[in-house]
Structure 1
């Protein structure tokens, strides 16, 4: 997976955030990681909210006709993505799994969760630019 490909995907995610499109994530660490990458926006945490999944889907679907689902790439994350996607679709909104699926495909053997993205991006940058020219995505 190239640094450029991942960087471009994060840029697209930033734009979604700027447009107010809700981004469903699992928890606080995921939000911190995305903010570290410069992605801001309407993050809705799935874990620890005390709400049922359908209630979370309702909140997201009411706020936008499109909802980005960005759960982790493990079994639990896959189950959450599937359930949320079905619920959001049943509510008449469009569940966007493209970011999650693309990230899963390009980071497959390296990371299993959203919170690992900043470090993974750093490592890719070092591999592609070992001379140390740092690329900052932050703010």
Structure 2
């Protein structure tokens, strides 16, 4: 595991980037649990579940029609990676500007410990607890 303090600082920066996003940008997520996890971390604003009745292309068309931009925030497991690729293609085809750098940075920071957005709050709590205990090296998430 990377240094606990470094990881926490990087995660805080990413969350701040999400909080300070432009008003015309929408966070594209996979499901309700992702929305709840982001809400628990103080991330508010418009979020769209991409696996709804409209389908991925329908979501991209709607964003294009509204002139909105997208932040792709799917999980970083295999399914989430495939979904992110489909989203990039659909958004590009509809002329929608998108950002997938936050997802990539999250994946790099947490890939060894967690694989999805819904686990972020408990992962951050775990890191905070490690920091309280003096940055315990070798601690595993989730704790045994």
TM interval, shorter chain, is: 0.7 to 0.9
- Which of 86, 90, 99 is residue 93 of structure 2 equivalent to? 90
Q: For residues 66 and 132 of structure 2, what CA distance do their matches in structure 1 show?
A: 41
Structure 1 moving runs of 4+ over 4 Å? none
Per-residue deviation at 1:89? 1.2
Equivalent in 11, 14, 21 of residue 6 of structure 1: 11
SS at match of 2:25: coil
Give distance in 2, aligned partners of 1:85 and 1:108.
Answer: 21
Which consecutive residues of structure 2, in runs of 5 or more, have no partner in the other structure? 135-144
The answer as to 2:28 corresponding to 1:28 is no
Q: CA RMSD in A?
A: 1.5
Supply the distance in 2 between the matched residues of 1:64 and 1:3 (Cα, whole angstroms): 34
Deviation at 1:58, TM superposition (A): 1.5
The residue number in structure 2 matching 1:116 is: 119
2:54 is paired with a residue whose SS is: coil
**TM-score, normalization by structure 2:** 0.83
Residues 104 and 19 (structure 1 numbering): CA distance in 2 closer, same or farther, change over 3 Å?
same
Paired residue total: 129
| Alpha carbons 1:3, 1:128 under 8 Å: kept | no
Unaligned runs of 5+ in 1: 132-139
* Between 52-61 and 105-114, the greater mean CA deviation after superposition: 52-61
Mapped to 2, the partners of 1:23 and 1:64 lie a distance apart of 14
CA contact (8 A) 1:22 1:63 kept: no
Query: How big is the shift at 1:64?
Result: 4.0
Contact 1:53 1:84 in 2 (8 A): yes
Which of the two has higher C-alpha Rg? 2
Does the CA contact (< 8 Å) of 1:20 and 1:41 recur in 2?
Answer: no
Listed one character per residue, the Cα deviations across residues 105-137 of structure 1 (whole Å, up to 9, x for unaligned) are 000111111000001111111112337xxxxxx
